[in-house]
């Protein structure tokens, strides 16, 4: 009810009729001697008492579910939920294949996949809202407060159209790109940070006229010769309309597998043991 703010939708999510849900909430309020929800004919909102009660109530439910899952795991039977976060530019592991293998081995585990940004996933792991995530971060960024495994260390390449003035070059330096129009991930995101840091470290500036949240749109803009990009080489497909160029002093991006080191759930532990990781880079 706190999430839906609507009796009809909340009852549907709980697979009960609306009257039964209303009765349960009233019974809980009577037991507590508190009003948890303010109700009108059109709106339902948490009262201050409800806001204070909610976090501990959620923690109790999560603890009860964890107790059942831990007991099942002791018999070799995994249950519960495994929540995985993945950045759009993951290249170091075949995550769908790893998830498929895990599902076949542990069919009772509910698997949830979220896409998003690395900073968002780091916070979610710290808060207990995410079990495992693949992160992509600048070389200068260290991950604190959780367990990590380095999956890949990649030098970003310049991606230009086949008709671009630099398309014939095999190697450039960042200074050669300062007059170009760029397409990149949104400012402040981990996907953008390696390139921004590399230019700033050399005292160089660039114009990012286009921002996009997925590589396919970035590559389409490059194909039409509207901009150049700096991307991990593995995300650039074989395409006669694109050229990749090594950047001698270009940005470095590190891909990590990250998870909470504090009492991970049995499903998360099993997934980490089963997932096929590349050999650790030297």
Q: Residue 281: its pLDDT value, please?
A: 46
Q: Mean of the per-residue pLDDT values for the chain?
A: 88
Q: What is the mean pLDDT of residues 221-236?
A: 95
Residues listed for the chain: 282
- What's the Cα-to-Cα distance from 9 to each of 2, 16, 41, 44, 57, rounded to whole Å? 11, 10, 15, 12, 20
| pLDDT of residue 51 exceeding 80 | yes
Tens digits of per-residue pLDDT, 261-277? 887 888 898 999 888 66
Enter the pTM of the model: 0.66
Q: Residue 1: its pLDDT value, please?
A: 86
Q: Residue 203: its pLDDT value, please?
A: 96
Q: What is the mean pLDDT of residues 14-36?
A: 89
Angle, CA 70 vertex, CA 50 and CA 97 arms, to 5°: 100
Confidence of residue 83 (pLDDT cuts 50, 70, 90): very high
C-alpha closest to that of 165 among 241, 106, 225: 225
| pLDDT of residue 121 exceeding 80 | yes
Q: Residue 229: its pLDDT value, please?
A: 97
- Cα gap 182→226, rounded to integer Å: 8
2 vs 281, more confident? 2
Q: What is the mean pLDDT of residues 101-119?
A: 90
């Amino acid at each position: 009810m706190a999430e839906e703010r609507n009796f009809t939708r909340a009852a549907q999510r709980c697979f009960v009729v609306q009257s039964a849900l209303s009765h349960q909430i009233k019974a809980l309020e009577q037991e507590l001697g508190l009003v948890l929800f303010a109700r009108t004919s059109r709106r339902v909102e948490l009262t201050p008492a409800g806001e204070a009660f909610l976090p501990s109530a959620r923690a109790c439910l999560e603890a009860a579910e964890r107790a059942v899952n831990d007991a099942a795991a002791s018999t070799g039977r995994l249950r519960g939920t495994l929540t995985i976060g993945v950045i759009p530019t993951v290249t170091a592991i075949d995550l769908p294949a790893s998830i498929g293998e895990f599902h076949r081995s542990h069919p009772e585990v509910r698997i949830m996949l979220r896409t998003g940004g690395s900073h968002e996933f780091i916070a979610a792991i710290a808060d207990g809202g995410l079990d495992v995530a693949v992160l992509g971060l600048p070389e200068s960024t260290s991950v604190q407060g959780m367990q990590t495994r380095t999956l890949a260390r990649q030098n970003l390449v310049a991606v230009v159209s086949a008709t671009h003035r630099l398309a014939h070059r095999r190697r450039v330096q960042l200074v050669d790109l300062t007059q170009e129009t760029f397409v990149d991930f949104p400012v402040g995101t981990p996907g953008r940070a390696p390139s921004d840091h590399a230019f700033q470290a050399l005292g160089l500036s660039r114009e990012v006229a286009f921002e996009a949240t997925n590589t396919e749109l970035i590559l389409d803009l490059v194909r039409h010769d509207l901009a150049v990009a700096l991307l991990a080489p593995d995300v650039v497909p074989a395409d006669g309309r694109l050229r990749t160029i090594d950047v001698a002093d270009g940005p470095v991006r590190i891909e990590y597998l990250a998870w909470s080191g504090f009492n991970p759930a049995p499903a998360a532990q099993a997934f980490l043991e089963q997932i096929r990781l590349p050999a650790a880079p030297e």
